[in-house]
Structure 1
Amino acid sequence: MPDRRVPAWRGAALAGAAVALVVALGVLNPPRQDGVSTDRLGPDHGEQVADYLARARDSLTGGDADQHWALVSFTEPLPPEQIPAHSGGMRIAQVLYRISLLRVQTPLVAVPVPEGAGAAVDSAQYAAWLLPRPVDDRSARIVALSAERLRDGCACVVGLVVRGPLEALRNLAAQKSIRAVQTLPADAVADSFAVIPLLPEYRDVVLPGPDDGPVPAP
């Protein structure tokens, strides 16, 4: 039976629950963007993946020593225990989770975490509490399966929001398992920007796949 104890940092997660749900809904129904905004981390709906990768690389240029918010997207989803090794030792602010199902659209959950690698690793257990409320039978089955897999510690980490200097972020971007690191300007304000990761299944263009596949039983 899954451990449903809430971690000590529940208050911080609850404060970010609204953000998590907005992000989750944004992945399922991403808004069409006409231009690039500095209050957003991640690719735009319909953007070519190659264009976003180039844009992310460009965001890492500069010589300042200021702290920057950045989105880290992976080549493949990670299990929670591998989060510290893919953060470059920087402050982790959010962990982004999404289970992958063939031809099924699943919600993205952003879990805000306090400082410390342990909280980031433990965040998978809390991600299940932040899943969006189902609106029909299909979404109820998707949410139930997502919750079960998240509590089991699945390889479902698709991104991190970190904070660090440009040099450290460039070093992180050079890791083999890191697909992209995109930064915001140093004056970006915490909690004032949207986050949409570059999902591993996005290969050519950033568009959601089909949603006509069967939902496995939990």
Structure 2
Amino acid sequence: MPGEAESAARHPAAARGRRRAFGYGAAAAVCAVFIVVLGVTNPPRDEGVSTDRLGPDTGETVTEYLDRARDSLTGPDNSDRWALVSFTDYETAAALPGRADGTRVSQALYQVPLPRVATPLVSVQVPGSAAALSRSGDDAAWWLADRRRYSAEGTRGAQILDVSIARLRAGCACSPGVVVRAPLPALRELAGRPGIRAVEALPADAVAARYAVAPLLPDTADPIQPRPDDGPVPAG
């Protein structure tokens, strides 16, 4: 594991210290489900207060992000950290308890993968139970169905929501990751498990609900950019 000085020399972005992302208005919350638009959460407005951020930066390469995520797990302290766990492949809701076994999952992330279609990323807040985590895909579909009521028929946005809802209700493999809370030793162990592509931890003093999340999607290509939205929307 490289030292802090070596890491700073190899990764200038990491050397700048804690990364910040500014909030964008009030969060929409229904049944403890929060929408994430273009990878940026919408925390309650608090002028002048910024939030931490988990996930790769636009323009960063996958290798750069993987190195930076690995560096975030270094340190001797044993305090709990909020951390983003990104999977190597999209997972079903039923598979999530096994993927994060031994750690407290606070959010299950969902984004239906469609070629060259920008589908919404949804973060579902989950209590500490495997049953709640296993049904989080249905919760994500419910949230999108509520949002769908405000979309005009026949528009591209409505079509994207329709196919996303249908696939989530069918139990699709649509979860790119989860957010957990655990001490660094547990996070390092989690990062070494099969099926886990990256684990990135926030500093120990990061505040709950004061961080944005944008997971490393399994099908992300270099350099990391927003998902293109110029492909046809499938019927279902």
Tell me if both proteins adopt one fold, taking TM over 0.5 as the criterion: yes
Residue 100 in structure 1 maps to residue 113 in structure 2 = yes
- CA–CA separation in structure 2 for the residues paired with 1:70 and 1:121: 20
Shift of 1:15: 6.0
Between the aligned partners of 1:209 and 1:113, the Cα distance in structure 2 is 26
Aligned length: 194
Match of 1:162 among 158, 174, 180: 180
Contact preservation (8 Å) 2:38, 2:226: no
Contact 2:87 2:218 in 1 (8 A): yes
Distance 1:90 1:78, change over 3 A: same
Instruction: Give a deviation string over 1:29-52, Cα, whole Å, max 9, x none.
Output: xxxxxxxx9701111122121111
Letter in 2 for 1:152: A
Change in Cα spacing, 1:126 to 1:15, as seen in structure 2 (3 Å) is: closer
Q: SS state of the match for residue 64, structure 1? A: coil
Q: Which residue number in structure 2 is paired with residue 4 of structure 1?
A: none
Q: Structure 2 stretches of 5 or more lacking a match?
A: 1-28, 41-49
> Which portions of structure 1, spanning 4 or more consecutive aligned residues, are displaced by more than 4 angstroms?
none
Is 1:14 aligned to residue 30 of structure 2?
yes
Mapped to 1, the partners of 2:30 and 2:89 lie a distance apart of 28
Matches within 5 A, 1:88-167: 88-131=101-144, 132-133=147-148, 134=151, 137-167=155-185
Match among 205, 218, 224 for residue 200 of structure 1: 218
Matches of 1:58 and 1:202 in 2, distance apart? 21
The secondary structure found in structure 2 opposite 1:149 is helix
Unaligned runs of 5+ in 1: 1-12, 29-36
Moved more, 169-178 or 123-132: 123-132
Which structure shows the bigger proportion of residues in strand conformation? Answer: 2
Calculate the TM-score normalised by the size of structure 1.
0.83
